[in-house]
Amino acid sequence: MNVTILDDYLDIVRTLPCFAGLAGHRVTVHTTPAAGIDELAERLRDTEALLLFRERTRIPGALVARLPRLRLISLVGPVPHVDLAACAEHGVTVCSRVVTERPSYATAELTWGLLLAAWRRIPQEMAYLRAGGWQSPHATGRQLHGRMLGILGFGRIGALVAGCGRAFGMQVRVWGRSGSLERAAAQGFEVAASESELFTGSDVVSVHLALTPQTQGAVRREHLALMRPEALFVNTSRAGLVAPGALLEALQAGRPGAAAVDVFDEEPVLGARDPLLALPNVVATPHLGYVTREGLDAMFATMIDQIGAFERGAPIHVVSA
């Protein structure tokens, strides 16, 4: 089959152990995003099986209609970026495994890396040191022990982050859906009286919600305005969970005092064009949460298995056919 992999920014898939599973296929890897639907259609004109790098590229119906050779889209995770109705109409099978039995340890680990970097101003102090200084005027840090960590969304990743907070000696307070709050309470974590209390009383608020139509823009300007001037807001989930422009406005207004983010409204962010990157009180990474060799190998191994099953006439993890 003609197999295409989109958006492999680091050109890493070819180096993973699982790539051997594509032996015998004609594989094309694109490492840069397409400029628009016309360029994307040209890239995919001979593609029979398409492997998607999570949600980096949208697959609208208008594109599917221009790809008569496309037979399979293979990916992992939710598929809000793929027009499933159009795929069904044009005979394209979509296979995606949603992993429910294990959390993304990599994302939880990066959350704490960003949190610690922002709380202790590690990137700023590194820059000051490299510029010839020694302990900037803002170098006096604050410890996390005894502080309040607010977790918005107590799913698999939120629970991991909460457990790390407990290990650091932080008080941990949780807000989310009723079922998740019951699990949090059962694990000995404090449940906030309300969403507003979570933002008002926390020194750090970390967001761990899935992005759905119901959670789109769930964190609004008025929530962030409740945070203390010295508080930190962390988002390693999805930028769409925060209302457009709300975080930028809140940081400029001084509540919260800082942010640590791994996600942006439009990705990839090239040329430092996102205004958050111009703020000195923001620590940011380029959506690295799940980008580890172990995680990517497991992810693409699943997608390659889905191709094999499709070729055998017994597709697995089918979400549209």
Residues with catalytic annotation?
Answer: 238, 267, 287
Alpha helices, H only, 148-216:
156-167, 178-186, 195-201
Whether the Cβ atoms of residue 222 and residue 249 lie closer than 8 Å to each other: no
Q: Please, what's the b/e burial string for 247-260 (b: 16 or more CB within 10 A of its CB; e: otherwise)?
A: bbebbeeebbbbbb
Distance in angstroms (rounded) separating the CA atoms of residues 257 and 227: 8
Residue count of the chain, please give it: 321
CA–CA separation, 111 vs 118, rounded Å? 11
Q: What are the Cα distances from residue 203, in Å, to 71, 154, 213, 253, 265?
A: 50, 18, 28, 17, 25
Three-state DSSP class for 51? strand
CB 212 within 8 A of CB 185: no
22 and 46 in contact (C-beta within 8 Å)? no
Per the CB < 8 A criterion, the answer to whether 80 and 60 are in contact is no
User: Distance between CA atoms of 215 and 235, rounded to whole angstroms?
Assistant: 14
SS3 (DSSP) at 222: helix
Nearest to 301 by CA among 75, 106, 29: 75
Compute the distance between CA of residue 318 and CA of residue 200 in angstroms, rounded to an integer. 43
Please give the angle made by the CA atoms of 201, 231 and 240, to the nearest 5 degrees: 95
